[in-house]
Amino acid sequence: MTQGLIITVAIGYLLMLFGVAYFVEHRARGTRLAGSSAVYTLSLAVYCSSWTFNGGVGRAAQTGLDFLPIYLGPTLAFCLGPLLIRRMLRVSKANNITSIADLIGARFGRSGGLAALVTGIAVIGLTPYIALQLKSISNGFEALSGTPSHTPGPIDSAFWAAVILTVFAMLFGSRSIHPGEHHPGMVVAIALESVLKLAGLTVIGLFVGLGLFHGFGDLFARANAVPDIAAIFSYDPQRYGFSWISMTLLAGLASLCLPRQFQVMVVENVNEQHLDRAIWQFPLYLLAINLFVLPIAIAGRVLLPGNADPDNLVVALPLLGGQPALALVAFLGGVSAAASMVVVETTALSLMVSNDVVMPALLRIPALRLGKRDDLTRLLLWVRRGVMVLLMGLGYLYMRRDGAQFALVSIGLVSFVAVAQFAPALIGGLFWRSSTKAGAIAGISAGFLVWCYTLLLPALAGPGSFATDYVANGPFGIALLSPYHLFGLPGLDPVTNSTFWSLLFNIAAFTAVSLLGRQRPVERAQAAMFIDTDNPNEAAQIWRRTAMIPDLSSLATRFLGRDRADAAFAEWAMARGLDPKTAVRADAETVLFYERLLASAIGAASAHVLVGALVEEEAIGVDDLMRILDETSRIIEANRRLEDKSLALERATEELKRANTRLQELDRLKDDFVATVNHELRTPLASIRAFSEILRDHPDISDQERGEFLRIVIAESERLTRLIGQLLDLSRIGEGGPAVSYRPVDLAAVARDSAFAMQQVFAGRGIAFRTRLEAATAPVLGDHDRLVQVLINLLGNAAKFSPAAGGEVELGLRRLGDGFELTVADNGPGIPPADRETVFERFRQLGDTLNGKPEGAGLGLAICRGIVAQHGGRIWVDAAPSGGAMFKLTLPAMAEPRR
Amino acid sequence: MLRRTARRDRLAGLFAAGVVLLNPPILNLFGGTIAGWPILYLYLFLIWALLIAGMAFAMRGSAAPVEKPGPRS
């Protein structure tokens, strides 16, 4: 088969793929095909590069089944998909993450430095992987065309493969800036390539099994006849060890951390629901594509023993069977696998380099005035194309340097160990709140350095006295530092050795530095945003940033174009209830919106730098903390006051309750009073009326009787008069009106007058009456007549209750402090202590009601208390020394004339 | 919510089973051939297929949009 034909077919095939991509992007954008879950799943199969297509078979031909961990690892990783991948998806979508470097950088305080570190490691780490693809294509080409595997001179088939693939990578991945870095055309082309890869390998497998052998049973039977091959399948309890485990682990981590996997799995994902199917369909694809790898490999060992390059068996076997067309299909399958890997990988890496390294660096150089340039999309695209050329160049150089030494799978594993270094920071960042930026940098750096020392340097060392010596015996003959047996660890192959040590140092540094260090507030906020919430937009207001909307808008226009920027902002403004035309100052959420919008085009690190130049950012400082504290204490204060108020309310309620009880008591007293007055007034009226009627109706009654009746009528009338007078007095006192005319009064005179008035009464009853006036004059302010009324009332009571024989009543007056005390004591039965207060209530009549009606209506003492109170004094009752009652009243002495 | 957690737990269980069954030392128990076919080859693909079937079973019914905002309001 001529070289020209092969190259024409290969280029035609790639052009066809590009045509599909172009068609999808321009004609069928948003159709069901571009956004379907089948396309998503198939695009994930970009994982199967020519490593799978050619290298897997080569590996199987040499060592049997240990090509499989590379696919079992992702299967197991996808078991954790709902936990791990879904979170990666959510967080990335919320932040418009465009690459794994972006994600790790954004997680740890939007660190540009960390993103650049990740990018650098990815570029270096994936160089061998790209070299693998070039080598695979060149191998296949040479096998197919029959040219010797080593063309002299600097230009060989791998070089042309690199050139062609670079051009296609540019066509697919960097024709224009896509919003959110979606490349629907590329994804559909990748999916198509995945179908062709699977179909190609299956066809070859069937051809080998059915065309070259009589079925697979025959194939295995003949293989068992060859002792070398039979040995591979014989029972050996020690056959697979740490190497298998470490490859499973590496592949599982790589399926999450490889930039191209991140690109198709996270960045190109258009619908989170697609993941639900891909979780089991992607492993199913891996199973299907590996089904015939072992039979093909075994057939190669049987039919092409010895000298053939095992990595070329897929092409070599159809040629052996006389089927050059089938060999061409196999070659195209390999080209497919390589091309899809190279296109997606270089696209992802060029995004990372341009967004996380080049643009942030250029934007930081003020002399370039990039922030002021009008259209940066063109610059951005050329940066990306430059990066693609650089990557392919590196890959080519690596292949030239290392190509002769390693089989495809070994080269690929070198890259896997490198990208696995991202896993601790990535997974830790998504689930471990206290992980810090310093920890991530320390872990990734440590792992990367160990990787460089144990895998990269030995691979690049090549033949030469020092280099060979260094790999075999360690630098300067120090065996402990031998790269393939670091610290003298025996029994591990180079990849397993490097995996163990690099991940150990990585995880140890990551956790130790995180545990010892302290998070900045921004970092903590980002951590919370990544870990806590299903809706990461909520944490937006943690940064209090503000900027002018026109500034932000013109910035976005420069990278996205006017139409797209305006449309995006209009949508945002509508959702936020802003008027796009009048809004001038952007709040924190709007600033974040613009940053994420920009991040979708140029990555989070660049967007952060650009937006950071426009906004006035206020860090969470002491002031904010004080404000928060202040608010807290204000709330506490308000709380305390509320408590006070509720206490006061309780007290008021208590008082009200008491007042209410008092009111009810007063109400009852009023009813009693009315009833009593009613009774007291009716009784004399009834008797007056009765005797008057007798006198009218019986003119013939005797004069004696008539006289008696008239006496009763007069007595009752007097009683009535007295009662009414007392009631009037009482009501006057109750009203508190000006019933008392205050004049200087001598209490001694009052006492003498009262005693004189009552002298006859006492004499009539045979009561011994004494006065003991200890003050010659006792000037008070008051009403003489009223005070006399009080004393006469008290003396009258005393007379009433003193025993008829041997009664003694004493009226006393003495000075007491700044006032005077009058006492009226008798030697009667006294008043029990319980009644000493109630006697002053209205209509309380003490004494024996059986002894007939006592004189008076029971208002006397109530009136006395009222009068004394009007004089500012006090009246109460005590026990007299003689056992009777002693009424005491005090009145303040006259200090100075009042008004 | 409960269903989602149950699904996650089932997949985690599958993950654990897969890690144990698809790695040494369990792996090294299978060697030799049966009817000419390598036993390990059959074993690995069988377990692998069962694992995928288990994953598909655990994820079943989830392709229907659960949280799709319907035009109810």
Least Cα separation, residue A233 to chain B (angstroms): 5
Query: DSSP letter at A488?
Result: G
Report d(CA A595, CA A874) in Å as an integer. 87
CB nearest A79 (choices: B14, B29, B38): B14
Please choose, from the candidates A726, A753, A729, the residue with its C-alpha nearest in 3D space to the C-alpha of residue A740: A729
pLDDT confidence of B73, banded at 50, 70, 90? very low
Residue A294 clears pLDDT 60, i.e. is over it: yes
pLDDT confidence of A363, banded at 50, 70, 90? confident
Beta pairing partners, A553: none
Write the pLDDT tens digit of every residue in A584-606. Answer: 777 777 887 888 887 777 777 67
CB A72 within 8 A of CB A280: no
Residue A252 clears pLDDT 90, i.e. is over it: yes
A217 interfacial to chain B (CB closer than 8 Å): yes
pLDDT confidence of A616, banded at 50, 70, 90? low
pLDDT given for residue A72 in this prediction: 94
Specify which of A285-289, A740-744, A778-782 reaches the highest per-range mean pLDDT: A285-289
Report d(CA A290, CA A600) in Å as an integer. 36
CB nearest A75 (choices: B18, B59, B62): B18
Residue A513 clears pLDDT 80, i.e. is over it: yes
Write the pLDDT tens digit of every residue in A91-138. Answer: 888 777 888 988 888 888 777 788 899 999 999 999 888 888 888 888
HSE-CB for A181 with a 13 A CA cutoff: 38
Average pLDDT over residues A72-92: 89
User: What token pair was written down for A878?
Assistant: 């005590």
Above pLDDT 90, what percent of chain A? Answer: 15
Please choose, from the candidates A348, A351, A329, A330, the residue with its C-alpha nearest in 3D space to the C-alpha of residue A340: A348
**Cβ contact (<8 Å) for B11 and A80?**
yes
Residue A624 clears pLDDT 70, i.e. is over it: no
pLDDT given for residue A250 in this prediction: 93
Q: Residue A744 — φ and ψ, nearest 5°?
A: -60, 125
Average pLDDT over residues A725-731: 76
**Cβ contact (<8 Å) for B18 and A82?**
no
pLDDT given for residue A109 in this prediction: 73
pLDDT confidence of A844, banded at 50, 70, 90? low
Residue B37 clears pLDDT 80, i.e. is over it: yes
Residue A495 clears pLDDT 70, i.e. is over it: yes
Q: Residue B33 — φ and ψ, nearest 5°?
A: -130, 155
Chain B environment of A37 (Cβ under 8 Å): 63
| Count of C-beta atoms within a 10 Å radius of residue A354 | 27
pLDDT given for residue A74 in this prediction: 95
pLDDT given for residue B35 in this prediction: 82
Lowest mean pLDDT among A194-208, A461-475, A685-699: A461-475
CB A62 within 8 A of CB A420: no
Chain A environment of B65 (Cβ under 8 Å): 273
Q: Nearest chain A Cα to B62, which residue?
A: A276
Average pLDDT over residues A874-898: 81
Cis peptide before B25 (omega within 30 of 0): yes
**Cβ contact (<8 Å) for A287 and B40?**
no
CB nearest B48 (choices: A239, A287, A294): A287
Q: Which long-range contacts (CB under 8 A, 24 or more apart) does A516-524 make?
A: A517/A436, A517/A438, A517/A439, A518/A436, A519/A434, A519/A436, A520/A109, A520/A437, A521/A619, A521/A620, A522/A109, A522/A110, A522/A619, A522/A620, A523/A108, A523/A109, A523/A436, A523/A437
3-state secondary structure (DSSP) of residue A737: coil
B47 interfacial to chain A (CB closer than 8 Å): no
pLDDT given for residue A449 in this prediction: 94
Average pLDDT over residues A451-466: 74
B10 interfacial to chain A (CB closer than 8 Å): no
pLDDT confidence of A689, banded at 50, 70, 90? confident
A233 interfacial to chain B (CB closer than 8 Å): yes
**Cβ contact (<8 Å) for B24 and A240?**
yes
Q: Nearest chain A Cα to B66, which residue?
A: A273
**Cβ contact (<8 Å) for A79 and B11?**
yes
Above pLDDT 70, what percent of chain A? Answer: 85
Average pLDDT over residues A178-205: 85
Q: Nearest chain B Cα to A274, which residue?
A: B63
pLDDT given for residue A271 in this prediction: 85
Write the pLDDT tens digit of every residue in A394-433. Answer: 888 888 776 445 566 777 888 899 999 999 999 998 888 8
HSE-CB for A141 with a 13 A CA cutoff: 25
Report d(CA A248, CA A246) in Å as an integer. 5
Average pLDDT over residues A521-550: 62
Write the pLDDT tens digit of every residue in A766-819. Answer: 888 888 888 788 888 888 888 888 888 888 888 888 887 788 888 888 888 888
Residue predicted with more confidence, A45 or A626: A45
Residue A282 clears pLDDT 90, i.e. is over it: yes
A633 interfacial to chain B (CB closer than 8 Å): no
pLDDT given for residue B4 in this prediction: 66
User: Which strands, in side-by-side order, build the sheet including A808-816?
Assistant: A768-773, A808-816, A819-826, A885-892, A874-879
Write the pLDDT tens digit of every residue in A58-70. Answer: 888 888 888 899 9
A612 burial via Cβ count (<10 Å: 0-12, 13-18, 19+): middle
Average pLDDT over residues A720-736: 74
CB nearest B27 (choices: A234, A244, A279): A244
pLDDT given for residue A178 in this prediction: 63
Q: Nearest chain A Cα to B26, which residue?
A: A237
**Cβ contact (<8 Å) for B63 and A37?**
yes
3-state secondary structure (DSSP) of residue A780: strand
Q: What angle do CA A860, A866, A870 make, to 5 degrees?
A: 145
* pTM passes above 0.95: no
pLDDT confidence of A724, banded at 50, 70, 90? confident
Average pLDDT of the residues of chain A: 81
pLDDT given for residue A361 in this prediction: 81
Residue A240 clears pLDDT 50, i.e. is over it: yes
**Cβ contact (<8 Å) for A280 and B59?**
yes
